[in-house]
Amino acid sequence: MLSTIQLPHTASLPPEEIEQLLNTSIIRGITEQEALGRLRQFGPNVTGSKKRATELAELLSHFKNPLVLILLAAAGISAGMGETVNAVIIFVIILLSISLDYMQERGARNAAATLGKTLGSKITVTRGGESYDIATSQLCPGDLISLRAGNIIPADVRLIAAHDLFVNQSSLTGESFPVEKNAATIPVTANNDTFLENMCYMGSGVISGTGKAIVLYTGRKTMIGTIADELNSGQEETDFGRGMRQFGLLITRVTLILVVFIFVVNAISHHSIFQSFLFAVAIAVGLTPELLPMVMSVAMSRGAMRMAREGAIVKRIAAIPNFGSMDVLCTDKTGTLTTNQISLVKCVNATGEVSADVFKLAYLNSSLQTGTINPLDQAVMAAGTPDIASFEKTDEIPFDFNRKRMSVVVKHSDTFTMICKGAPEEILKVCNVDTDTTKQIQLLYEQLSQDGLRVLAIASKSLQSGKNLLESDECDLSFAGLAVFFDPPRDDAATMIAELEKIGVDVKIITGDHYLVTEKICREIGLPVKGILQGFEMDQMTDVVLQEKVRNISIFTRFSPDQKNRVIHALKTHHRAVGYLGDGINDAPSLKAADIGISVAGASDVAKDAADIILTDKQLSILYDGIIAGRETFANTMKYILMGLSSNFGNMFSVAVAAVFLPFLPMLPVQILLNNFLYDTAQITIPADNNDADMLYHPQQWNMAVIRNFMLIFGLLSSVFDLIIFFLLYHAFPVSQAQFRTGWFMESLATQILVVFIIRTRKLPFVQSKPAMPLVISTLLCLTVGWILPYLPFAALMGFKPLPSHIMLYICAIVIVYLICAEITKRLLYSYHSKKQAAAV
């Protein structure tokens, strides 16, 4: 077993010394038994993740809440002053609340972990002379791995073999252009001790070529691990996250103002400092929506599990609410609008005649290149098998997204030939073709594109040597012809485009294809063609002009990865959330730039790593279900916020008024905590509630004006009925202090629990909008428990005393009238905001 992970510069060492240093073999690798020992020594190959806390530690972490700590201190002081019953009740309520929160979060945490197990990238490793795929998290120092196009480098490694290996190190260097790597030994000096040519670093992506490497560092010992896992840090604040932050500030301000007021008035006017302190703290707990994290966790976990059943794996469940906010989706057309079952229709020369020679050149290029095998290459190789046994590949110039072409060099009968394949306009730039022939080729290209056919150009030239060629050698080529492909539209594309449009999602196509091909497909499937922008046209625009232009563009063609990023950032200035669907190496930057990055199971590791959500199939129907799940999560979260904030604010306002006029506390601290516990317990089923269709058919977003108005108007409405109860119990029906508190406890619990059925929908409750049965059961059950408490044998311990039946009838009538007034108020409030929003538009 290795005694240390601190290695000298292996870049300057020959392979034989690396073998001895790491106790491995550059042919057979380490054994499986040795790998297990090293995994125990160095830990799993993961970055930026802490060791998972024990369940006990997770439970205890819930006691870190400042309000919980204050309540525990209050319980301790109560016990020290001889108020043992109050201390026990406070502690039991705290323990029950924390246990409830812990159990729900544990379920959400386990659900997320279950989903996460399906997402790990794999790499080919050689152990004991046998090669097979393993999860990258199981790599350890000394492992021998194989690299190919599309892989993410899984650790910091030293190359021992490389062939046309190009790597994108932008996650570390910020440089977007691929860097060529080789296995040569390099003398290391102070000026070149990072990003060496024979070293590859965790998080980089293999663009093209192949290689073999020995793992040097894993996990947090890697370069990217030492800089806090850059690929997963620094996420921009989303619309949902911004709303949560603003909501937290609103709660904090309101709580501080009212709690301080209530404490000062009670302490000065009527009561002891300690009782006033307990009462103010209990009121603060009552206003704070402490179950909001749990409600969100459960709602997002349910959304993630639902999406998993539909075929979408959520890597980061916090992305689900952002999914609900998405109102524009950018995607390539291949595999989304089309079947991705690309077939080679024909290969033609410059005059449009079918040519076997052009096909042979195309086949040599596609079959011998070592970059990512794309569907076009697969279509060429599936179209036939020409005799190429006498051809030997000697060199390659990999594809990149600026040149939009790639070349291979082959040797045949002692002659060397470069075969170049790529976008017709880019191939023509490096061909030696006269003007008339160029026009003829361009006309043929446009005619094929207008028929919805994709086209690649093929060119070649003879060489004196077949090694060490550069991009600059792609010049003075002879134009050979065109390879023509067809990718039919999906049968369900038109339907899904229409469905997405119904729920307010605008689909925009960003592709590297010709605009005529893209336009043809879009018109066939009914995607509105609002405007077309080509890459070269965008290059001439400033960001300000582009931001205005993108609003009326639905097709973006001939776009490079950097150009896609510009479009996404321009769209984000107008839209709540921008989604991007991509599966190629070139899509990774766009997936990171978008608010919601979406990839597919068969995508490159680079794309899957950058995505928030991974689809098992590249279908818009799965996206539709995901968007609806996101909107359901958002809607149910809003229900809890609007209901809890308005009801609790009303209670606090009522207490503030009562503190001025009543000679005693309107409710004991224990009773307030018990009320809050029953209320919160009733709401744990909100994540499972039904949602009205009209709530899901438009993008969701935070509206702090609506939240603030709900809090103020519904809070004041609730206070009006609280004050009516105060008047009846204090003046109309003189009762004891215990009965007064019992009456307000029962009225307060009923109004704030039952109002959920009003606030959860904009329609008429139960008639036009039916709540989910779990919500009905939990609400009625908690209300029943709360109303039975005063009649139980131990009621006096909690300060309760039974009420006469005629007072109970008055309380029931007040609750019913309150719910009717709440329904009317809700309709007036939504009508006001709808008119205000329409006027703003």
- My answer on whether 475 and 526 are in the same domain is no
CA separation for the pair 116, 692 (Å, rounded): 31
Which structural domain, as residue segments, surrounds residue 599?
Answer: 313-339+490-626
Which residue is listed with tokens 């079947």? 339
How far is 533 from 490, CA to CA, in rounded Å? 24
3-class secondary-structure state, position 538: helix
Residues with a known catalytic role: 332
Q: Is residue 29 part of a domain?
A: yes
> What's the CA gap between 262 and 658, in Å, rounded?
9
d(CA 295, CA 304): 14
Q: Residues 206, 322: one domain? A: no
What are the DSSP calls for 28-95, one per residue? T---HHHHHHHHHHH--S-SS-PPPPPHHHHHHHGGG-HHHHHHHHHHHHHHHTT-HHHHHHHHHHHH
409 and 349, same domain (yes or no): yes
Task: Report pLDDT digits (tens) over 423-464.
Answer: 999 999 999 999 999 999 999 999 999 988 999 999 999 998
Task: Judge whether 574 lies within some domain.
Answer: yes
How far apart, in whole angstroms, are the C-alpha atoms of residue 424 and residue 422?
A: 6
Q: Could you identify the residue written with the tokens 């603060």?
A: 284
- For 557-601, the DSSP string reads ES--HHHHHHHHHHHHTTSS-EEEE--SGGGHHHHHHSSEEEEET
pLDDT at 370: 80
Going by C-alpha positions, the residue among 496, 552, 483, 569 that lies closest to residue 526 is 496
The CATH number of the domain holding residue 176 is 2.70.150.10
Query: What confidence score (pLDDT) does residue 113 get?
Result: 56
Distance between CA 810 and CA 302 in Å, rounded? 41
Amino acid at 377: D
> Sheet of 578-581: strands edge to edge?
312-314, 613-615, 596-600, 578-581, 328-331, 506-510, 555-557, 532-534
Q: Are residues 548 and 516 in the same domain?
A: yes
Q: Which of 232, 253, 275 is the last residue of a domain?
A: 232
- The pLDDT of residue 580: 92
Decide if 650 is inside a domain.
no
One-letter amino acid at 267 equals A
* The pLDDT value given to residue 85: 64
Q: Which long-range contacts (CB under 8 A, 24 or more apart) does 804-807 make?
A: 804/733, 807/728, 807/729, 807/733, 807/735, 807/743
Q: What is the pTM of this model?
A: 0.68
362 shares its domain with 385: yes
Last residue of a domain, one of 448, 467, 485: 485
Residues 521, 467 share a domain: no
Domain count, the chain: 3
Within a domain: 768: no
CA distance 471 to 474: 6
Last residue of some domain: 193, 215, 232? 232
If DSSP codes are grouped into helix, strand and coil, which group holds residue 125? Answer: strand
Q: What is the CATH number of the domain that holds 362?
A: 3.40.1110.10
- Spans of the chain below 50 pLDDT: 1, 49-50, 108, 112, 115, 190, 228-234
| Ramachandran category for residue 220: left, alpha or beta (phi over 0 → left; psi -120 to 50 → alpha) | alpha
pLDDT 10s digits, 251-306: 667 767 767 777 777 777 656 677 677 667 666 655 555 556 566 666 777 777 77
Strand-pair partners of 588: none
Q: Is residue 474 located within the same domain as residue 521?
A: no
User: Tell me, what's the pLDDT at 459?
Assistant: 97
Verify that 513 and 470 share a domain, yes or no.
Answer: no
DSSP letters for 649-684: HHHHHHHHHHHHH-SS-SS-HHHHHHHHHHHHHHTT
The enclosing domain of 324 has a CATH number of 3.40.50.1000
Same domain, 34 and 166: yes
334 lies in the same domain as 403: no
Angle, vertex CA 490, rays to CA 486 and CA 492, nearest 5:
170
- The answer as to whether 87 is a domain residue is no
